[in-house]
Structure 1
């Protein structure tokens, strides 16, 4: 219990959403409140040359979308907040899935105009797998969108989660007048094209007060009273334990671009969000209050600074205290390593830290020692579980366009696949390199980064595979026989594990039926 005070003031969360729901904008508003940045960058405006603080790769700034998870740390009201901004685009879902293993809670941004979209569903499934506590922020209330009750019903139905509104909107679109805070009993008034300020907030002990009619007009004041009565009648007080168990999601309404309704959510988040939790490992549950240090790598990023060929491994601290220049045990490599310059992050800005506690996300310089899922401890051997690699959906052969740059291409593709951008398979008994991704956009990113960062030009040829399955068997001879007969469809992943590349669902089912002694796995966590 040595570090109880430090653990209690930590909050680690990820912001997730469908692309363009306003996630990166919301991230920036949090950073403004935390005093971490002075001005927000308009993510897609070419007029403003300040790009979004959390988008730091060149390709992200050109396209106006986030393609890698950014990590930001800031102080707010006595709490140390570790915020992870994730890519919304479905092609980068795997990066987001892994990020969700490193946080204790999630803020889900829903666009009030478009409602629940495909990517939102997928992300919520991952949250539910882990019972991650979720807060919902319904954004863009100043645009004409769906009816507020219909929207809540849609979210509950589509995402299979109970909602509990903590603020309530007064109209929407051009008639949007503000939100009523059900938690703190105050009214926050909205004026178009201005940022919300303290003086826009009215403390109201009773909604029957005439001030409400004066500020909103008789009709809107009456509608608000009816709505609040209905919402209170249905939901009552928020049960914080239900939220922490992932059963109920508090809901806030606002407009991130106008900085409206964001502070109310952040204040509530600080009050109710979970502090760092204990975690499952391959041996036992590691209690967050244990004195000995442990943590795991959930993300690797090469060339954070293009001028220096650096690789940063992002580590989530799970127990104990991490100290600069102290030796820690790298479980997979069975060797001791130390770090002279561990970092905390504000997107691209890095600060060297002396120590870190459970809940913190820190960056470690990596010379090629780390892979995603690696565990560091103070001597004990175990792995943190639940950090799987998923089967890709699109497969392409990597073709070198410049034989003079073969070495650069090999190095580049090894480093990029270590980051988890894509998966690399080598054809069994041959040297054909096959890249597996979740979406097409990832191939564009790989091609762009190989050229920009390694000077290697390549192209991709589409391959007719439908899924990659890791194969294992207790009978070694059966496995050898299978790989010999199916050599055209068998490859090895980067760790030398055998993978069967199925052309279709029919082929996969046939092989599973014909080979009962061989197990086909859709994630690679089986090898941990």
Structure 2
């Protein structure tokens, strides 16, 4: 029996969780259908997920069909959790992109399809809710071809659409011939020059082009009523190939989700690409730090139901703390790339006596999820970086329900970044220099690093010249000091090099090196100067023709830079980049300018240098 790891992706309220419940129920994995409305679904098992009726964390559930074990990964649909979706994509063999037959193609649907096509991940499209009033089929297919991808073909037709009598009927494979010819040279040649492709030729081409991500068969059905679901399952097992797995050798895998267990422990979801993991086996995970360093986490896997083999996914309890992104063995080359969050909020305990508990809870959440950046701020507050307001609301509810702490969040503000503008050096000799009184000698050089490198700390001094504890104190203090630059923004893409060092044993201490590093680093950074950057979002907006001019004018007045404009009689699509601080304003004004017909999509996507340099730049 082979294994498939399938992701279910969709916009909010398309029916992802309901489809998961139907698949599990139809194949005997659960004995009753859960409901999002009643809050008793299998995958949305968190109290907050049940209350809000949305998926927040990727969840895994399994069933067996047609001799294949299928692991379903039910992913979030809200745009604030797009990073959670993209992390799950790393471990998938294929995906089911879900649409509502009533709401049709939404902005988030297009975001997801764009990502799936970029990764060339085998993807089937499932049109849900065919039994709801207002459901569409032919019109929706036209929208899919126009707004998602032209390379699709329906594999079923619907009778009685939009009513409780809606049913699906499979279509003959020959109806997909012309669509397949657009992506398969063999089918094109057969249609043009003959002899015509046989049904077997067409089925083979459908499987091959689906597998390479260039073609997307479309299925219709209802997750609640069960119509069309069996056809979807058969297509998943027939058209999506399992990823190649290496059964022997050392185990290799990726942690793609971490969830709290019933007893307060952490449960890690691990996708294994090679080797085998057994109960109580000693494992070593690798973790990449922000400074490029690699740390190792050792422990033993527990609570496995059986040996975990290559290609499979398991939920395991690990005896030491794991977090998303940790790699078992050498990292794979499938890790998705996504921009860090740019919305900053300050969090304080509503009751001052709970300040310590709040800090501990936030650090625990940030340790589980590396995309939540937490750092101390003034007056006992904690600074958090998040993706959006909904994520902030969910985090506040999580603190109350999981940690018993009520917290107040300041309104989110866009977080700017600094980068070194040049090279600067500073040195302090012991026992005092530059007004200091530390038993340490430190010389540092600050210079620009490569874009996207974050922060790098290096040595020009002889290794072993300082005790290890002193080296570590300098490195940690450098990265901590760069959290606040000359304008108060965090510094990124820097390279700091230790160019001089000295100590006096047994007088010198690690505290001397921590204290002096902050002073020398600040002096070197002032001499290097910094440039200030504001984060931007890549955007795509679809508007009716009559609204093209006013929407373009609004975007231009808010600092947008355009990369493309295309369209025709029915709609125009504008793409470009806009400062992150202007996104919310554009979103709020768009409905009035487009009479409610505009569709907006944006996500963090780079930054832009401000015209004014920061203090110290020269």
TM class by shorter chain equals: 0.7 to 0.9
- Alignment counterpart, residue 162 of structure 1, candidates 144, 151, 155: 151
Cα distance between partner residues in 2 of 1:472 and 1:160: 43
What's 2:55 paired with? 66
- The answer as to 2:576 corresponding to 1:477 is no
CA drift of 1:461 comes to 0.8
Report Cα offsets for 1:428-463 as digits up to 9, x if no partner. 999753212222111111111112221222111124
- The answer as to 2:609 corresponding to 1:510 is yes
Contact 1:425 1:491 in 2 (8 A): no
- The answer as to 2:227 corresponding to 1:260 is yes
What's 2:122 paired with? 133
What's 1:192 paired with? none
Gaps of 5+ in 1: 1-5, 185-228, 278-286, 343-351, 519-528
What's 1:24 paired with? 17
Report Cα offsets for 1:245-284 as digits up to 9, x if no partner. 100011111111101100111012112212124xxxxxxx
What's 1:401 paired with? 350
Contact 2:99 2:125 in 1 (8 A): yes
- Alignment counterpart, residue 356 of structure 1, candidates 303, 308, 311: 308
Report Cα offsets for 1:76-100 as digits up to 9, x if no partner. 2321111111111222221111111
Counterpart of 1:250 in 2: which secondary structure?
strand
Counterpart of 1:478 in 2: which secondary structure?
strand
CA drift of 1:337 comes to 2.9
Cα distance between partner residues in 2 of 1:297 and 1:470: 32
CA drift of 1:75 comes to 2.0
Counterpart of 1:330 in 2: which secondary structure?
strand
CA drift of 1:108 comes to 0.7
What's 1:247 paired with? 214
CA drift of 1:503 comes to 5.0
Residues 360 and 513 (structure 1), Cα distance of their counterparts in 2 relative to 1, 3 Å cut: farther
Contact 2:156 2:168 in 1 (8 A): yes
CA drift of 1:116 comes to 0.6
Cα distance between partner residues in 2 of 1:153 and 1:73: 34
- Alignment counterpart, residue 410 of structure 1, candidates 359, 377, 387: 359
Following superposition of structure 1 onto structure 2, how do residues 5-154 of structure 1 map, counting pairs within 5 Å?
Answer: 9-45=2-38, 51-145=40-134, 147-154=136-143
Cα distance between partner residues in 2 of 1:128 and 1:484: 39
What's 1:488 paired with? 488
Counterpart of 1:314 in 2: which secondary structure?
strand
Residues 135 and 99 (structure 1), Cα distance of their counterparts in 2 relative to 1, 3 Å cut: same
Report Cα offsets for 1:379-434 as digits up to 9, x if no partner. xx546552445322432111222232233212211222233385224379997532
Larger radius of gyration: 2
- Alignment counterpart, residue 320 of structure 1, candidates 252, 271, 275: 275
What's 2:595 paired with? none
Structure 1 range deviating more: 90-99 or 480-489: 480-489
Cα distance between partner residues in 2 of 1:162 and 1:502: 40
Residues 245 and 298 (structure 1), Cα distance of their counterparts in 2 relative to 1, 3 Å cut: same
Let me know the Cα RMSD of the aligned residues: 3.6
- Alignment counterpart, residue 273 of structure 1, candidates 216, 240, 246: 240
Cα distance between partner residues in 2 of 1:500 and 1:260: 58
Report Cα offsets for 1:46-93 as digits up to 9, x if no partner. xxxx71122100111122222211111222232111111111122222
Counterpart of 2:281 in 1: which secondary structure?
coil
Counterpart of 2:488 in 1: which secondary structure?
helix
Cα distance between partner residues in 1 of 2:374 and 2:532: 10
Residues 421 and 453 (structure 1), Cα distance of their counterparts in 2 relative to 1, 3 Å cut: farther
Report Cα offsets for 1:343-395 as digits up to 9, x if no partner. xxxxxxxxx32311222221232465323211112xxx546552445322432
Gaps of 5+ in 2: 181-198, 288-293, 425-444, 449-477, 497-524, 537-558, 560-578, 580-606
Report Cα offsets for 1:478-526 as digits up to 9, x if no partner. 3589977534111699xx9x999855657953359969xx9xxxxxxxx
Residues 146 and 31 (structure 1), Cα distance of their counterparts in 2 relative to 1, 3 Å cut: closer
Contact 2:6 2:71 in 1 (8 A): yes
Q: Which runs of 4+ in 1 moved over 4 A?
A: 229-236, 333-336, 381-385, 427-432, 466-476, 479-485, 498-508, 511-515
Higher RCO (CA < 8 A, seq sep 6+): 1
- Alignment counterpart, residue 331 of structure 1, candidates 267, 286, 306: 286
Cα distance between partner residues in 1 of 2:407 and 2:32: 39
Counterpart of 1:127 in 2: which secondary structure?
helix
What's 2:261 paired with? 304
- The answer as to 2:253 corresponding to 1:295 is yes
Cα distance between partner residues in 1 of 2:62 and 2:269: 13
- Alignment counterpart, residue 371 of structure 1, candidates 323, 337, 341: 323
Residues 356 and 369 (structure 1), Cα distance of their counterparts in 2 relative to 1, 3 Å cut: same
Task: Kindly tell me the number of residue pairs found equivalent between the two proteins.
Answer: 434
Residues 122 and 469 (structure 1), Cα distance of their counterparts in 2 relative to 1, 3 Å cut: farther
Residues 484 and 176 (structure 1), Cα distance of their counterparts in 2 relative to 1, 3 Å cut: closer
Contact 1:491 1:500 in 2 (8 A): no
Contact 2:418 2:532 in 1 (8 A): yes
